[in-house]
Amino acid sequence: MIPSLPTERPADRPFDPPPALHALPPLARMRYPDGHEGWLATSHAVVRDVLADRRFSSRTDLRHLPIPGLNGSTDPAPPGALISLDPPDHTRYRRVLAGKFTTRRMRLLSERVRAFTEDRLDAMAEQDGPVDLIAALAFPVPAEMIGELLGIPQDERAEFERESAPLFRLGATREELQATSAVLFTYLSGLVTRKREDPTDDLLSDLVHTDLTDQELVMIAFLLLGAGLDTTSNMIGMGAFALLANPDQLALLRAEPGSITSAVEELMRYLSVVPVLVRTALEDIELHGETIKAGEAVTVSIPAANHDPEKFPDPDRLDLRRNANGHVGFGHGIHQCLGQQLARVELEVVLSALFSRFPDLRLAVPPEQVPLRTDMVVYGVHELPVDWKA
Ligand code: HEM
């Protein structure tokens, strides 16, 4: 009997990959919810090989979804949706977009992350009693940064944030997701028109000067929102949770604030908030002693790869002093995260500022009571109640 994708994590080990993954061979057969019999890759070496191999496609119309209820379409991806396109289309969009994440743009964004984070921390400090760190900080910071990238006018940001939220909400129905996407597409189309007429200093305005069509620009804007918000927000939330649950490691970071860059890499490895990526074989492929047939799906488990003891000894231990280079938390190969520089800046700034502002920060509930997002596409916590008062 071919097993399906293991997703269960014991409540007292929220940071470890689902334990059943460890019992599997590096490349195992897996049954998909639609009945397809494909593959599951769990070792670091196999995961990297799959992601680096151009004979595996990212196309949505070829794929089988690995998780029941995953809100992914199996229609062909529209122009501009580069995460679901193969070369040469992918290459063209990737080149244009990567060229706009300039050093100057990154410097402006870093300054904005710093200032906005301080504002949010000021607002937190004024409150009495426990605060949900997700609502107070972890969601607003990346939402603001998407607002900056797209050049959303300041007075429209709060509403844009509210309208985007259902995309990432637990139990949102298919109809709700479609309705939310429709509202956002209408808003983003209007925004693209405004940037064409009256460009401002942001990434979207830079993109209107390229030969991309309005339809492509709207899709790219939507992708930046979809790929850059929920991921970063959950990494901030889970990162704070993991540090609070490992006081010895938090003490190390407090003692050496300059170690935040390598601490963020280790948190990316340890937490692996994107649980799976999926590819489809375009031809028969020999890989690590198995033959993957054309049309078969391969799901790669990011947490399993990042907790492979052959690559990272004692992998289930958060160890801020380890060298976590080579983790696949941002993916690998041609689709490797385009926003990783920005994500790293956000994580470094937010976590450093949070722990320096509140020296007595602690969880306001026992760790087992923190509600985990086991049922979502991106792993994390729904809420993180914290307190800092004596
Ligand atoms: C791609 C993770 C933040 C934009 C990816 C992929 C992963 C990932 C695993 C690879 C997908 C694949 O191979 O199919 C993350 C994590 C983040 C983060 C964990 C936060 C900690 C961001 C941000 C942005 C962004 C802030 C932009 C604002 C993108 C885009 C792609 C991508 C556009 C597609 C690239 C392509 O197909 O060439 N991300 N990401 N991500 N990410 Fe991120």
In tens, the pLDDT along 2-27 reads 899 999 999 899 999 999 999 999 99
Does residue 330's CB lie within 6 angstroms of at least one atom of ligand 1?
yes
- Is 36 domain-assigned? yes
Q: Is the CB of 339 under 6 A from ligand 1?
A: yes
331: in domain? yes
Residue 71 lies in a domain: yes
pLDDT at position 166 is 82
pLDDT at residue 273 in the model:
97
Residue 318 lies in a domain: yes
- Could you give the count of Cα atoms lying within 13 Å of 322 in the half-sphere of its Cβ? 21
State yes or no: pLDDT of 390 exceeds 80. Answer: no
Assess if residue 274 is contained within a domain. Answer: yes
**Can you tell me the distance from the alpha carbon of 82 to that of 91, in angstroms, rounded to the nearest whole number?**
8
pLDDT class of 294 with cuts at 50, 70, 90: very high
Please indicate whether residue 138, judged by its CB atom, sits closer than 6 Å to ligand 1. no
- 340-357 helix and 230-245 helix, angle to the nearest 10 degrees: 40
Which of 145, 231, 238, 342 has the most ligand 1 atoms within 8 A of CB, as the residue to mutate? 231
Those residues whose C-beta lies under 8 Å from the C-beta of residue 126, and which sit 6 or more positions away, are: none
Per the domain annotation, does 326 fall within a domain? yes
User: Which residues are CB-contacts of 236 (< 8 A; sequence separation ≥ 6)?
Assistant: 137, 138, 141, 142, 346, 347, 350, 351
Asked whether the predicted pLDDT for residue 69 surpasses 70, the reply is no
By alpha-carbon position, which residue is closest to atom 34 of ligand 1? 83
Q: What is the pLDDT of residue 70?
A: 64
Q: What is the pLDDT of residue 178?
A: 87
Q: Return d(Cα 47, Cα 26) in angstroms, integer.
A: 9
Tell whether the model's pLDDT for residue 62 goes beyond 90: yes
Mean pLDDT on 280-298: 98
Structure tokens at 35: 């009945």
Task: Examine residue 320 and state whether it is found in any structural domain, yes or no.
Answer: yes
DSSP, collapsed to helix, strand or coil, labels residue 303 as helix
Task: Tell me the pTM.
Answer: 0.97
Give per-residue pLDDT as tens, 31-60.
999 999 999 999 999 999 999 999 999 999
Domain span at 326: 19-383
Neighbour order of strands in the sheet with 385-387: 131-132, 385-387, 362-363
Q: Could you give the number of structural domains in the chain? A: 1
Instruction: Give the mean pLDDT of the chain.
Output: 95
329 CA to middle of ligand 1, Å? 9
Predicted pLDDT of residue 184? 94
pLDDT at 11: 86
Q: Which atom of ligand 1 is nearest to the CA of 229?
A: 26
CATH assignment at residue 363: 1.10.630.10
Q: Which of 225, 340, 350, 351 to mutate to test the pocket of ligand 1 (most atoms within 8 A of CB)?
A: 340
